[in-house]
Protein backbone atom coordinates (compact mmCIF):
# COMPACT_ATOMS: atom_id res chain seq x y z
CA UNK A 1 0.00 0.00 0.00
CA UNK A 2 1.14 3.48 -0.76
CA UNK A 3 -0.33 6.59 0.85
CA UNK A 4 -0.62 9.36 -1.74
CA UNK A 5 -1.34 13.05 -1.34
CA UNK A 6 -4.22 14.39 -3.42
CA UNK A 7 -1.76 15.75 -5.99
CA UNK A 8 0.14 12.43 -6.26
CA UNK A 9 -3.12 10.46 -6.36
CA UNK A 10 -4.70 12.59 -9.10
CA UNK A 11 -1.53 12.66 -11.19
CA UNK A 12 -0.85 8.93 -10.92
CA UNK A 13 -4.52 8.12 -11.54
CA UNK A 14 -4.55 10.23 -14.72
CA UNK A 15 -1.55 8.32 -16.09
CA UNK A 16 -2.64 4.79 -15.10
CA UNK A 17 -4.52 2.97 -17.86
CA UNK A 18 -5.53 0.15 -15.49
CA UNK A 19 -6.78 2.45 -12.72
CA UNK A 20 -9.99 1.82 -10.79
CA UNK A 21 -11.23 4.27 -8.15
CA UNK A 22 -12.81 2.60 -5.14
CA UNK A 23 -14.99 4.39 -2.57
CA UNK A 24 -15.31 2.41 0.69
CA UNK A 25 -17.65 4.83 2.53
CA UNK A 26 -21.21 4.19 3.68
CA UNK A 27 -24.27 4.72 1.47
CA UNK A 28 -25.14 7.88 3.42
CA UNK A 29 -21.66 9.33 2.85
CA UNK A 30 -21.75 8.46 -0.85
CA UNK A 31 -25.10 10.26 -1.17
CA UNK A 32 -23.22 13.49 -0.42
CA UNK A 33 -21.04 13.03 -3.50
CA UNK A 34 -18.59 10.60 -5.05
CA UNK A 35 -15.42 11.00 -7.13
CA UNK A 36 -16.40 10.53 -10.81
CA UNK A 37 -16.29 6.92 -12.08
CA UNK A 38 -15.65 5.47 -8.62
CA UNK A 39 -16.96 2.04 -7.66
CA UNK A 40 -18.70 2.01 -4.27
CA UNK A 41 -18.11 -0.95 -1.93
CA UNK A 42 -18.92 -0.19 1.73
CA UNK A 43 -16.15 -1.51 3.98
CA UNK A 44 -18.63 -1.84 6.87
CA UNK A 45 -20.48 -4.65 5.06
CA UNK A 46 -18.04 -7.23 6.46
CA UNK A 47 -18.00 -10.49 4.52
CA UNK A 48 -20.00 -8.92 1.69
CA UNK A 49 -17.19 -6.35 1.33
CA UNK A 50 -14.60 -9.15 1.18
CA UNK A 51 -16.66 -11.05 -1.41
CA UNK A 52 -17.03 -7.99 -3.64
CA UNK A 53 -13.30 -7.22 -3.35
CA UNK A 54 -12.38 -10.81 -4.22
CA UNK A 55 -14.42 -10.49 -7.43
CA UNK A 56 -12.23 -7.59 -8.65
CA UNK A 57 -9.39 -7.96 -11.17
CA UNK A 58 -6.09 -8.28 -9.27
CA UNK A 59 -4.17 -7.02 -12.32
CA UNK A 60 -5.71 -3.54 -12.05
CA UNK A 61 -4.52 -0.62 -9.91
CA UNK A 62 -6.89 0.51 -7.16
CA UNK A 63 -7.09 4.08 -5.92
CA UNK A 64 -9.05 3.87 -2.68
CA UNK A 65 -10.62 6.58 -0.58
CA UNK A 66 -13.04 7.09 2.29
CA UNK A 67 -14.00 10.11 4.37
CA UNK A 68 -10.66 10.78 6.08
CA UNK A 69 -8.24 8.08 4.93
CA UNK A 70 -8.61 5.58 7.80
CA UNK A 71 -11.08 3.08 6.33
CA UNK A 72 -9.41 3.28 2.93
CA UNK A 73 -6.12 2.41 4.63
CA UNK A 74 -7.85 -0.63 6.16
CA UNK A 75 -9.28 -1.53 2.75
CA UNK A 76 -5.79 -1.33 1.23
CA UNK A 77 -4.47 -3.70 3.90
CA UNK A 78 -7.32 -6.16 3.31
CA UNK A 79 -6.70 -6.04 -0.44
CA UNK A 80 -2.98 -6.67 0.03
CA UNK A 81 -3.84 -9.73 2.17
CA UNK A 82 -5.97 -10.89 -0.79
CA UNK A 83 -2.91 -10.57 -3.10
CA UNK A 84 -3.74 -7.25 -4.76
CA UNK A 85 -0.41 -5.61 -5.59
CA UNK A 86 -1.28 -2.08 -6.71
CA UNK A 87 -3.35 -0.35 -4.02
CA UNK A 88 -3.13 3.35 -3.25
CA UNK A 89 -4.71 5.21 -0.35
CA UNK A 90 -5.83 8.84 -0.64
CA UNK A 91 -4.32 10.65 2.36
CA UNK A 92 -6.96 12.72 4.15
CA UNK A 93 -9.76 11.04 2.18
CA UNK A 94 -12.55 12.94 0.50
CA UNK A 95 -12.35 15.63 3.19
CA UNK A 96 -9.11 16.78 1.53
CA UNK A 97 -10.32 16.22 -2.05
CA UNK A 98 -10.39 19.34 -4.20
CA UNK A 99 -11.37 17.68 -7.46
CA UNK A 100 -14.81 17.10 -8.94
CA UNK A 101 -17.56 15.17 -7.19
CA UNK A 102 -20.68 13.63 -8.68
CA UNK A 103 -23.88 14.25 -6.73
CA UNK A 104 -25.54 10.92 -5.93
CA UNK A 105 -28.76 12.22 -4.36
CB 64 within 8 A of CB 87: yes
Reply yes or no on whether 76 is catalytic.
no
Which residues, at least 6 apart from 53, have a Cβ–Cβ distance to it below 8 Å? 41, 75, 78, 79, 82, 84
Of the candidates 4, 35, 53, 66, the residue annotated as catalytic is 66
Catalytic residues: 66
Amino acid sequence: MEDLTQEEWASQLANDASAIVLDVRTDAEVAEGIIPNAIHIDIYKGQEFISEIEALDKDKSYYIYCRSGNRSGQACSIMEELDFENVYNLEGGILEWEGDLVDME
